[in-house]
Amino acid sequence: MLFNSPEFVFIFLPVALVGYYLLQRSPASEYRFHFLILMSLIYYSVWNPPYTLLLCASLGANYLIGRLIQRASAGRAWFGPSVPLAAGLLLNVGMLFYFKYANFFVDNLNAAAGTNFNLQHVLLPLGISFYTFQKIAYLVDLARGEVRDQGFTRFSLFVLFFPQLIAGPIVHFRETSPQFDRNSRVRFAAANMTVGLVIFAIGLFKKTVIADTAAQFATPIFQAAHQGDTILFWSGWQAAVIYTLQLYFDFSGYSDMTIGLARMFGIKLPLNFHSPLRAQSILDYWRRWHMTLQRFIISYMYQPLAIPLARLAANWSLGRFGRFVVATALPTVAIFFVVGLWHGAGWTFAAFGLMHGAYIVINEAWREINRKRHRKTKTAAPAWGSFLYWCATIAAVLFANVMFRAQTVGDAMEIYAGMTGLNGPPLAAAAGLADLPALLSGPLMIILVGCAIVFGFPNTQQIMRRYGPALGAEQWVGVDARGSAVLWRPTLVGAAFTGITLYLGIMFMMRAQSEFIYFNF
Amino acid sequence: MTSMNIAEATQQSGPSRQTAWKRPLNLSVVILTMVGLAASLLAGTVMLPHDPYIRYQTLRGTLHERAAWIYERIHFDPAPIDVLFVGPSRMASGVDGPALSKLLSQQMKIDIKAVNFAFAQPGDDLFYAIAKETLSAKRVKLIVAGVIELQGRSGHPAFRELADRDDILTAPIIFNRSFLKNLAYLPMRQLRLAWYTLNPAAGGYQSHFNPAAAYEGSDLDTRKRFSWRLPDNPVNPNLTEAQLTLESQTYDRTLVHRFLPPLLDGVEFAVARTYFSKLKALADQHGAKLVLLYLPYYKGPEQPFDSAQYENIGPILTPSALIDDWTTREDAAHFSDSGAARLSSWLSIQLEPYLRNDR
């Protein structure tokens, strides 16, 4: 069930909210979280009921492994915590590998080795990449002693809570668990409903009005490339720019909707998206794009790999360049290769990951060089430098997003050929631009509107900054702030703004319902 | 993590002497205003007027392309419509309108015009909507509604595009899987149609009927002009009896008579029952006769699952001799050219008494 579907907006959500708040006001208040678990299971099972059993089995197994880890950590078992932790990691990664990569692996093995292994097509369970990462984080945090088992209900809600079940944000147990305390009173219900509804309305607008409109102009070009058509200069750039806007508003809209939905139930989720297209470096871009994934990567993948490699480089007494390669470049590229494949079992995703890995290595090297130069010359970077950095970042992101969207690496290459003028110089391709009215009512309009919102307006957490919209938002609301006068308040103007936003979101919702791009991962 | 206190935040928001639209409101009022405004705007959008001719043109380029011709035939063509066929693709494939008109005219020695307005895909709500549109402009003597072995549980996918606003708003709610989607789609449809009514060229539509431009005539054989096939289901030119039997057995296996107990048939088949009743009422209101044409799949059941219900609506005609004859078929559900010729010929004999009584 999509957040941008009438079944969700008009049936599921009202039923869930009414049930939750009725229970909260009844003598059976402590069961409101059980009700949320039930609703989350219903939400998931609408997609594919048998796979709900898989989700439940994985949930139960992880909970038991978590208890074993805690027992072992307390010295109440004959084995150490690393034994159940390893079993848990194996279980989760194994499940992810089987459901997500088994077909990809077998297909490539057959192609490379000429073998003829036959594996039935395995259906990818919805949200498996997200809930698997979340459970891995829980087990590792337990083993590190950073969290403690707090019962099956809280663990179930931590994993199943429907606003974040399918596509994140990837939350930590310590972030949401205290909020699921059954003895806690639900305070500020009207306030949470109000703030949640505003954030949800903004997210719905971003998804249905902007992202889905952008898709209408980007998709045909990618399809044309796939059918073997020649992509010319302007079409190539149109595909890259509009798809980047589509992806941006799709994920930004999803993140807002999930935060808004959780807030309607009085739960704050962590921030997941902070105007990444305003970033002036790739490092900064990844700090703002899918923030909870980046946090997971650093804590549970990058550090466990980079720290031993740094020690190794030190032990080998490598020079500056050698240290950089072993301790920074190698783990970065390796991790981004995995992150690319995490997005999907395909070579385009692997290439996307490698591209970003390479970008980050270059960014790190540049930062290192610049740091030394500034130390020597004691001069700050010139003002125009920021603009150049931003241009380079945007160009890098656009090129990588083409690979991300393309069905095959060959399709992406065709679009790159168009973008770089290899399929004909820009002037030769400019004939299609002559019809300015048509352009203004089509692709150019969505680019102008999209860019105006991305670069000229405050983002959702900045608009809602007065009301603590998300966990960690206070650290970010001042970053790259735009239009500081735009602040939502519970006034007639604020209510009218939300009412109109909600109206447009619902109107466009039925134009064409499309899945959130991140639902596929 | 602390809970947000919007009330505290609101109190910090400035001096007490503020204009009304800037004054902080009670949060319940804010929620009601937000939801109420969105709902009012949606309701207002639903009320936007439009030109129904544009509405029928919006399906050009789709499987339901015939809609535009149907509207032109009803509203702009002075030729009468004496016999109206509405139903699913089995009827679309089996009835040759011009041939039937010719046969009936010869038999009755008066000019009789039969049109086949059947659509691909089942859905009785759409067939009612098409009949309603036809009766709004033509004096139809006989309506022939298509029936298949099992009543539909949901509406037709094109209903939300072609039905008028009131029909969408008053559709049965219970057990109608299409209702919510159709209702949610309505505001956007109304806005788009209102826009194209003002700017038809923007959507490539015609605001005025131009017979010289594209009209395909009064006696169009819709079987040949419009497809009832989905693109992934092409015609098999080498069809054999064995293949048809296999296909028919698949239909047998997938035929689920009921999901709910018999007592709840009215709920389970709410869509079909509602629209057949409405069709009957519509026919009565306009003095037209209503006959049901049962077209099961190859070797399918001899009568519809819910025949008792249908008999309350009107007499059921069943071309029994053709049902089990594999040479009349293009696939298990649809008629071939020769099958359509035989069915049309059979119909000319069956329908004549109803048309004679009309006089």
* Residue boundaries of the structural domains of chain B: 48-358
- Phi then psi for B40, rounded to 5 degrees? -65, -40
User: Which residue did the predictor score with more confidence, A384 or A507?
Assistant: A507
Whether residue A110 is found in the same domain as residue A197: no
Whether residue A43 is found in the same domain as residue A152: yes
| A343 is a catalytic site residue | yes
Is B47 in the A-facing interface, judged by CB distances under 8 Å? no
Within-domain flag for A417: no
Is A11 in the B-facing interface, judged by CB distances under 8 Å? yes
pTM: 0.84
Residues B180, A466: C-beta atoms closer than 8 Å: no
Within-domain flag for A351: no
Whether residue A140 is found in the same domain as residue A102: yes
Residues B37, A468: C-beta atoms closer than 8 Å: no
Is A176 in the B-facing interface, judged by CB distances under 8 Å? no
CA distance A328 to chain B (A): 34
Q: What was the pLDDT predicted at B234?
A: 67
Q: A503: nearest CA in chain B?
A: B38
* % chain B with pLDDT above 70: 89
Q: A472: nearest CA in chain B?
A: B1
Residues A495, B33: C-beta atoms closer than 8 Å: yes
User: Which residue did the predictor score with more confidence, B23 or A508?
Assistant: A508
User: Which residue did the predictor score with more confidence, A383 or B315?
Assistant: B315
The two structure tokens encoding residue B251: 């239909």
| Set of chain A residues whose Cβ sits within 8 Å of the Cβ of B184 | 6, 10, 506, 509-510
Residues A503, B42: C-beta atoms closer than 8 Å: yes
Is B28 in the A-facing interface, judged by CB distances under 8 Å? yes
CA distance B12 to chain A (A): 10
Q: Are B235 and B339 in contact (CB under 8 A)?
A: no
CA distance B33 to chain A (A): 6
On the question of pLDDT at A74 being above 80, the answer is yes
Confidence category of residue A478, pLDDT binned at 50, 70, 90: confident
Structure confidence by residue, pLDDT tens digits, B282-334: 999 999 999 999 999 988 888 888 888 888 889 999 998 888 888 888 888 88
Neighbours of A297 (CB within 10 A): 20
Q: What was the pLDDT predicted at A378?
A: 67
On the question of pLDDT at B4 being above 50, the answer is no
Q: What is the mean pLDDT of residues A223-230?
A: 92
Within-domain flag for A348: no
**Could you say which of A274, A343, A356, A374 is catalytic?**
A343
Is A16 in the B-facing interface, judged by CB distances under 8 Å? no
Measured CA to CA, the distance from residue B60 to residue B64 in angstroms comes to 7
Find residues 396-415 of chain A whose CB sits inside 8 Å of chain B.
Answer: none
On the question of pLDDT at B123 being above 60, the answer is yes
Average pLDDT of chain A is 88
| Set of chain B residues whose Cβ sits within 8 Å of the Cβ of A193 | 27, 31
Last residue of a domain, one of A127, A155, A185: A185
Average pLDDT of chain B is 86
CA distance B21 to chain A (A): 5
CA distance B191 to chain A (A): 9
- As for how many domains chain A has, the answer is 2
Whether residue A196 is found in the same domain as residue A49: no
ipTM confidence: 0.82
Within-domain flag for A344: no
Is B41 in the A-facing interface, judged by CB distances under 8 Å? yes
Structure confidence by residue, pLDDT tens digits, A125-175: 888 888 999 999 999 999 999 999 999 999 999 999 999 998 879 999 999
Measured CA to CA, the distance from residue B283 to residue B290 in angstroms comes to 6
Structure confidence by residue, pLDDT tens digits, A398-415: 999 999 999 999 999 999
Within-domain flag for A499: yes
Q: Return the amino acid letter for B245.
A: T
Which range is most confident: B84-88, B223-227, B247-251? B84-88
Confidence category of residue B17, pLDDT binned at 50, 70, 90: low
Q: Are A459 and A275 in contact (CB under 8 A)?
A: yes
Q: Are A196 and A260 in contact (CB under 8 A)?
A: yes
The residue among A177, A104, A178, A172 whose CA lies nearest residue A140 is A172
Q: What is the mean pLDDT of residues A280-303?
A: 92
The two structure tokens encoding residue A223: 């399809």
Q: Are A91 and A170 in contact (CB under 8 A)?
A: no
Last residue of a domain, one of A143, A159, A185: A185
| Set of chain B residues whose Cβ sits within 8 Å of the Cβ of A2 | none
| DSSP at A273 | B
Last residue of a domain, one of A144, A164, A185: A185
Q: How many residues does chain B have?
A: 359
Whether residue A214 is found in the same domain as residue A180: no
Query: How does strand B142-147 pair with strand B83-86?
Result: parallel
Within-domain flag for A244: yes
Task: Name the residue range of residue A209's domain.
Answer: 191-273+433-521
